[in-house]
A and B are shown apart, each in its own frame.
Chain A
């Protein structure tokens, strides 16, 4: 059974007060119960109490209850109560304390007045109970009780005789602080503000309610005669029961004077095995053991896209119903278990097509280029060392036997070998510069007005012009080299052709001598090549410096941060470990490589022959892993230092989602929002965020955390069990109880720490235990 917003009046008198009030309560007797009950209904009061001065008329109480139950079943209730005159301190005026008792033990209630009188029976207006007597009475009655004290003026106003707490003691705040009383009662609306202001001054927060103090039922809700002014009542969101009242008093900030939820679209109920279980258009918590079907239910409510839940849904005939036919699935904002943490880790938190919350990280390409270049430079370095070594070995092997050569060949000796110029690097530089030039040109063409507004358009045009001139030089140089190489190749081609032609014309002696000359040339080349290669500068490349691979975008007091794995990290060790086998996984080892076999051995799962494959596979994988983005969100002006753990980020995410996100939703469905968030953060923040939308949206949570049930003070608890694939449901508001179960017991027994959470919440019981 779900609770609703109800009006309460816990201060009504009857004829039993006549020993003090005289004639004005004369007609408020057992014969006029109908009058009272009708007036209660006319004023939409759901929970009330007859609280006579130092008296309890059990017969009247029972008769009223009989009438109320017959007429209104469980929608209205009359709780047993007494208004005591108590002297808190000697020499001070008395104060009025209203005691509202639990109605779960009729035998004790029947004896209630006798227990009072067993301590002392007050006989006239002058008599009062001492504090000690009052406490003895409560002990003798031995029923759970809620105490409400009159406060008809400011708490620091100790003058007058208004039966208020502040008249009766020099230190009214102490009685509130220690929890001796549960609430203050004011009589006029203006007094509410005065009392609240008094409490605010000393940083105290306690429940303040109003009661009619009606003495004449004919003129209910007025004291005795109508004054023509409309009477306001305190409203609670609770069941009209003692436990409902208790829950409201222990969590008055979430229960008292709440507004009706204006949310237009919500899930109205869940039907399981033919039984409808209502959902509150407010806060709902689904609890139960692992595997009891909680996430299945949430998934069904949200979108029903998980096929593996289908057999269970069909077997239990589970249907989700909405409050209107035009309800759209898009109205639901569904956050699956671990979704935020996963999104944070995968870098797609707030990956929303409709809204781009994050800035791109601009230097990812640069990072990739730097790593590729570093690897290529290492490759070139090692290959150079290998070439030096091989060339040296060749030098050692090379021998020549001098055979005198007769210079007077009939046919010329043709040497067609010719070195071509290296132009690959020229080509790369040309392409690279051209790309920069074209991009800058495009940028200027597309954003002319922007740069003109900054007065830098002409400057940029000049830069572009200069860049074009530089590009022309590089282009020209490349073209010239290319042309020269073309000429060289042409010459070689012709000489080779000529050589072939000559070879066919030579005498055998000439052929022999030509072969000798070629051997001479080969000999010479070996020496020259070695000299060249040995004297080439071969520096070991320097690993790229740490790069800032992050971006921050500001939006509505939040920073949307994105950062790569390479962000401000020295990746040198990781690079070597990723690319090279453990025996070679550092710079010193790579420097010493001199043979192709060794280099192949060094490359992880690869070889020199497969180097291109290595670059496109292993190396690119390293770049991709390092470029992986993670996202986070934090508040700019938060006084709290929010960490970067997934749990902390989740917390800010919830706050943003609930308070600031542009995305409209009517129903928020979250599977275990408590994941990764520490308990104090849940208590101090998450509860606050979720509570802030309890009257604006529908929230449906799956949780194992009692704080998110008891402290959040959810409107509805759904407890699931599954036996042999059959799902059973128990549900209701926190205060709900029936013959088979109480919701609080289900929480106590099913959630870790549930017992403690409830104990803290219902500390009012402790008074009775002592």
Chain B
């Protein structure tokens, strides 16, 4: 089992940096476009079989309500993805 931590940090420009703490891969969602690509997310997750993900973020530092809602949506999105991957991994581990 490989544990990977995905960090989501929002900077002063409200860009969201998603970073894999193990592989150091990162992906940026720019605030002015708010565009997020599936390939970008996939690349940052750097999936390996048996990988278990957890998520960390700095939402507590966000004060602006609208920004908070926006950042929370991204966190939730990434979390749902990670949760699904963890289900796959757990199934594989159970099969073994």
B-contacting residues of A (Cβ < 8 Å)?
Answer: 394-396, 398-407, 520-521, 523-524, 526-528, 530-532, 534-535
Contact = CB atoms under 8 A, between A and B. Distances in A.
B37 interface: yes
Interface in B24-66: 29, 33-39, 41-42, 45, 47, 49, 66
A532 B87 CA distance: 11
Interface residues of B, dominant DSSP: helix
Contacts of A527: 38, 41-42, 45, 81
9 nearest A-B residue pairs (beta carbon) = A398-B38, A404-B69, A404-B70, A402-B34, A526-B38, A400-B36, A528-B84, A395-B38, A531-B47
A399 B38 CA distance: 6
Given A402-B29, A404-B70, A535 B34 contact: no
A523 B47 contact: no
B49 A535 contact: yes
Contacts, number: 73
Given A400-B36, A402-B70, A405-B69, A535 B47 contact: yes
Nearest to A403: B34
Given A398-B37, A399-B37, A528 B73 contact: no
Contacts of B39: 395-396, 398
B22 interface: no
**Which of B33, B45, B77 has the most chain A CB atoms inside 10 A of its CB?**
B77
- Which among B29, B84, B88 has the highest number of chain A CB atoms within 10 Å? B84
18 contacts: A402-B29, A402-B34, A402-B35, A402-B36, A402-B70, A402-B74, A403-B73, A404-B70, A405-B69, A520-B77, A523-B36, A527-B41, A530-B42, A531-B42, A531-B85, A531-B88, A535-B47, A535-B49
Contacts of A531: 42, 45, 47, 85, 88
B80 interface: yes
Contacts of B36: 399-402, 523
A530 B41 CA distance: 12
Contact of B38 (A402, A403, A404, A523): A523
Contacts of A526: 38
B34 A405 contact: no
Given A401-B35, A404-B69, A523 B84 contact: no
A401 B73 CA distance: 11
Nearest to A530: B42
Nearest to B81: A524
Nearest to B43: A395
Contacts of A399: 35-38
Given A399-B35, A531-B88, 20 more contacts: A396-B37, A398-B38, A400-B36, A400-B38, A400-B77, A401-B35, A401-B36, A402-B73, A402-B74, A404-B66, A404-B73, A520-B77, A520-B80, A523-B38, A524-B84, A528-B84, A528-B85, A530-B38, A530-B42, A531-B47
